[in-house]
Amino acid sequence: MHRRQFLQYAVATGAGLTLAAPALAQSGQTIRIIYPFGAGSAGDGLGRLMADALRQATGKTIVFENRTGAEGKIGTRAVIAAPPDGNTILFTPFAPIVIHPAAFDDLGYDPFTALQPVTQVSRFEFAMSSSLTVPAETLKDTMAWLRANPDRASFGVTGSTGLPFFTAKLVSSMERVDAKPVVYRSAAQVLSDIIGGHIPLASSPASEVGEMYRTRKLRVLATSGPQRSRALPDVPTYKELGYDVVADAWYALYVPAGTPAEIVKEYNRIFVAAIQGGEGRDLIERLEMEPAGTTPEGLGEIQREAFQRWSGPIKRFQTVETK
């Protein structure tokens, strides 16, 4: 099934996720799940899948809201400002929770104290791709070619505050290549330009390039996870190639700090059952991600470890790019 058709199917059918009704108290109130980015992406489809699981489990009205703007900060702030009563939930990727605290001095909130973790939903990694017009087939040789042709040293990316950006900057700096980012509005634009030979490199989620790689429209030089990618199992990781780089990102669910512990526990139970159940797991894997489903404490530890690992590179490269 084509990726977009699959997302539409998952949202329309609710993916068949049927759960026992929980003991969430009082409520005829509507529950909002806020996703701080736009519609139509894999993340949007995954978030709507979580919304449907909660709807089936609680019998309540669940509104899934795309609250976009400021690279995810507006939607995140809306959840932080909401009453801690369990009626507002944040479904978010990695960047607003881990990267923004290091990248922005004026963030105005601390996600480590302003949000309560519920569970990690899925994990995924990134890929470094190259145009077939580049006369090199390995990452090492591609970097050597870029050093010899500094006017071509650039990479396509969809933003300058995400792990695809920082991963590409880190790897190129290790090879003494001053690679400039070319920032696009969408992954489709990045892929169109790398296939057309307008840019030599692209850094993007591995799941975005799998089909292009399999049809030999581009090369994939490396992936960023601790193990090889589900989407690209025959492509080596950065670690395998000798680069001390591991960049695995994730989607997760949070509620405002101060939300009662019994509500957090009940939401964790509902969402973990949806993530790890047969049909939910199958749908997440079809999106070429790894299903997760952690405890709230487990997600908190993952968040802290990721911040410690990336805050140095983020501060180093963000300062240069935002002058």
* CA dihedral sign of residues 146, 71, 119, 58: negative
> Dihedral through CA 232, CA 235, CA 241, CA 246, nearest 10?
0
- Per residue in 216-260, pLDDT (tens digit) is 999 999 999 999 998 899 999 999 999 999 988 899 999 999 999
Q: What are phi and psi of 243, to 5 degrees?
A: -100, 130
Cβ distance 170 to 313 under 8 Å? yes
Q: Which residue has the higher pLDDT, 2 or 176?
A: 176
Which is it for strands 62-66 and 115-130: parallel, antiparallel or unpaired?
A: unpaired
Q: Among 46, 56, 49, 72, which residue's Cα sits nearest to residue 24?
A: 56
> Dihedral through CA 79, CA 270, CA 276, CA 292, nearest 10?
30
pLDDT surpasses 60 at 5: no
In this prediction, residues 266-275 reach a mean pLDDT of: 97
Among 2.60.40.10, 3.40.50.1370, 2.130.10.10, 3.40.190.150, name the CATH number for the domain at 3-123+249-317: 3.40.190.150
Structure tokens, 134 = 């580049």
pLDDT band, residue 24 (cuts 50/70/90): low
Spell out the SS3 assignment of 25-58: CCCCCCEEEEECCCCCCHHHHHHHHHHHHHHHHH
- Per residue in 102-151, pLDDT (tens digit) is 888 888 899 999 999 999 999 999 999 999 999 999 999 999 999 999 99
In this prediction, residues 170-174 reach a mean pLDDT of: 95
CATH topology of domain 125-247: D-Maltodextrin-Binding Protein; domain 2 (3.40.190)
pLDDT surpasses 50 at 43: yes
Domain assignments of the chain as residue spans, ordered by start? 3-123+249-317, 125-247
**Domain 3-123+249-317 identical in fold to domain 125-247:** yes
Structure tokens, 48 = 């709507």
Which is it for strands 115-130 and 219-223: parallel, antiparallel or unpaired?
A: antiparallel
Q: Spell out the alpha helix ranges (H) of 196-240.
A: 206-214
